[in-house]
Amino acid sequence: MFATDDTIVAIATPPGRGALGVVRLSGPQAPGLAAHLLERGRALQPRRATFTRVRPDGDESAIDEVVATFFPAPRSYTGEHVVEITGHGSPVLLQAVLKRAIAAGARLAEPGEFTLRAFLNGKRDLVQSEAVADLIEAATPLQARVAFDQLEGTLTERIAALDARLFDLIARLEASLDFPDEGYHFVEPAHAATEIASVIEALDDLLSRAVAGRMIREGATAVVAGRPNVGKSSLFNNLAGTARAIVTPMPGTTRDLVTETIDVEGIAITLVDTAGWRDTHDLIESEGVARGVHARGVADLVLLVVDGSEPLADEDLRLLEDTANANRIVISNKSDLAAVPLSLPVREVRVSALTGDGLSALRRAIATALIGEERLRDSAPISNTRHIALLEQCRASLEVARQAAEAADVPEEFLLIDLQAARMRLDEVVGRRTSEDVLRHIFEHFCIGK
């Protein structure tokens, strides 16, 4: 499978200059390589930060002062001998240390290879390894919190609990099969059905938060729609906190999609401003309108803006109808002007893009529309599409097993096949049983040095 007997090396800090930069070594040769690279002759003390220098190469002079720390196996990030050399964050110096380590026998690490080794050495399961990447990628504090929870093992524990229940049920069913002559059931079919139903319920509880979890992990797209001049671009700019989109009193100003990523209550939202929807003969504008319609179709949320200071126009009515089945918020803008009563089919959020009035209520409404009220409070235990898909497959197998258990005439063997299939999916989530391809796919998305 993957080579783990050699020693890998990588720069663990981001490319570019910084106050500090870290070169990380992992593998059996790590302490030996460190002794070769560093001026300090004696072996590094375990888990002690040691101030030293990088040994001069040939007749060069020493290139940097560093702090080196040795983490002996198995108490290290990877479970192997690890040495971290912290120097000044100069790409030139760090590259020089890297090159010397390679010249002395280390191999340049692949992306995610340190974390892969941690996984292969049983330091972390697959869910926790994936959480490492999510944590590094997190763009909002909420994303970081969800990733950290998974890193700490919240999802791992819940899966282990489900797995233990399935294991117990399978063991008892197998015992019944092994001692057929006794005519004794270690588990009655009715009890098996109830137990499976209760595992399904626990799975459903987990999956019910998956939409929110995925939205938090991957972010969402919200499209600002409405007829020309209702204040879409003004609202967009206000939410984005920058004057990205051009605002003029002339209808038809916005002709292309303008996007900006914003953080709304911890959810990373790609906000899209569109051309106002209307019939137009202008070629560019009508292309803009078409793009806007398309964007609306694929968005997670539509922010439909109407002008609260004017009666609804035909275009407003048409848009209200077109977006009736979408996840949408109807926004009545220009609350700073005298309001006219609008007979809207849903409760609107009143704002003024000009004064900023009502925008915090709008932000709250956006977050709630995307992930639900209570979901915001307790973090979602599941957020990764790979996990969600496997848990759904697990649930499908359990559903077949439950029906088999309920139909009293189905032999236990059949029940067992589906229960084992369900367990296998759980094993795949945590990586007890995962193909090399899947592992490669997961780890190649990591950064180098992690």
Residues that bind ligand GDP (CB under 6 A): 226, 228-234, 247-249, 253-254, 276, 333-334, 336-337, 352-354
Nearest residue to ligand GDP on Cβ basis: 231
Distance of CA 265 to the CA centre of its chain: 16
Residue whose CB is less far from Mg ion, 71 or 277: 277
Nearer to ligand GDP, 174 or 260 (CB): 260
223 token code pair: 């499209």
- 285 contact partners, CB below 8 Å, separation of at least 6: 252, 255, 275
CB of residue 324 to ligand GDP, shortest distance in Å: 21
Rg over alpha carbons for the chain, rounded to the nearest Å, is 29
Between 117 and 278, CB nearer to ligand GDP: 278
Question: Could you give the CA distance from residue 18 to residue 28 in angstroms, rounded to a whole number?
Answer: 29
The contacts of residue 338 (CB under 8 Å, 6+ apart) are 309
User: Binding partner of residue 352 among ligand GDP, Mg ion, none, CB under 5 to 8 Å per kind?
Assistant: ligand GDP
User: Angle at Cα 149 formed by Cα 48 and Cα 379, nearest 5°?
Assistant: 150
Residue at token pair 């005519």:
183
Torsion sign, CA atoms 85, 88, 92, 93: negative
- Report the nearest approach of ligand GDP to the CB of residue 307 (Å): 8
Q: Which does 208 bind (CB under 5 to 8 A by kind): Mg ion, ligand GDP, none?
A: none
Would you say 254 and 273 are in contact if contact means Cβ atoms under 8 Å apart? yes
Binding partner of residue 354 among ligand GDP, Mg ion, none, CB under 5 to 8 Å per kind? ligand GDP
Which CB atom, from 90 or from 259, has the smaller least distance to ligand GDP? Answer: 259
Q: Least separation, in Å, of the C-beta of 19 and ligand GDP?
A: 43
In whole angstroms, what is the distance from residue 351 CA to residue 291 CA?
26
132 binds, among Mg ion, ligand GDP, none (CB under 5 to 8 A by kind): none
Q: Which of 13, 52, 69, 233 binds Mg ion (CB under 5 A)?
A: 233
Largest CA distance in the chain: 88
Contact (Cβ atoms closer than 8 angstroms) between residue 318 and residue 227: no
Site string for Mg ion, 181-220 (x = CB under 5 A): ----------------------------------------
Which residue carries 């206000």 as its tokens?
A: 238
Tell me the C-alpha distance between 450 and 13, whole Å.
9
Which C-beta is closer to ligand GDP: that of 217 or that of 232? 232
Q: What is the 3-state secondary structure (H, E, C) of 53-105?
A: EECCCCCCCCCCEEEEEEECCCCCCCCCCEEEEEEEECHHHHHHHHHHHHHCC
Host H or E run for residue 272: strand 267-273
* Residue with Cβ nearer ligand GDP (27 or 292): 292
Q: How many CB atoms lie within 10 A of CB 250?
A: 9
Least separation in angstroms between CB 280 and ligand GDP: 13
* Partner touching 156 among ligand GDP, Mg ion, none, CB below 5 to 8 Å by kind: none
Closer to Mg ion by Cβ: residue 171 or 290: 290
Asked whether 82 and 60 are in contact (CB, 8 A), the reply is no
Q: Does 254 bind Mg ion (CB under 5 A)?
A: yes
Q: Which does residue 274 touch among Mg ion, ligand GDP, none (CB within 5 to 8 A, set by kind)?
A: none
> 152 or 282: whose CB is closer to Mg ion?
282
**What is the distance of C-alpha 309 from the center of its chain?**
41
**384, interface contact from Mg ion, ligand GDP, none, CB < 5-8 Å by kind:** none
Measured from the CB atom, the residue of 248 and 261 that comes closer to Mg ion is: 248
Contact 265, 363 (CB under 8 A): yes
β-partners of residue 66 are 52
Q: How far is the CB of 233 from Mg ion (least distance, A)?
A: 3
The site for Mg ion, by CB under 5 A, has a size of 3
Q: Which stretch binds Mg ion (CB under 5 A): 32-40, 56-64, 233-241, 385-393?
A: 233-241
Minimum separation from the CB atom of position 199 to Mg ion (A): 52
- Closest distance between Mg ion and the C-beta of residue 307, in Å? 13
Least distance from C-beta 309 to Mg ion, angstroms?
Answer: 17
Closer CB to ligand GDP, 21 or 228, in the complex: 228
Cα separation, 262 vs 291, whole angstroms: 21
**CA 307 centroid distance within chain:** 37
When CB distances are held under 5 to 8 angstroms depending on the partner's kind, the choice from Mg ion, ligand GDP, none that residue 403 binds is none
Shortest Å distance, C-beta 359 to ligand GDP: 10
What residues line the site for Mg ion (CB under 5 A)? 232-233, 254
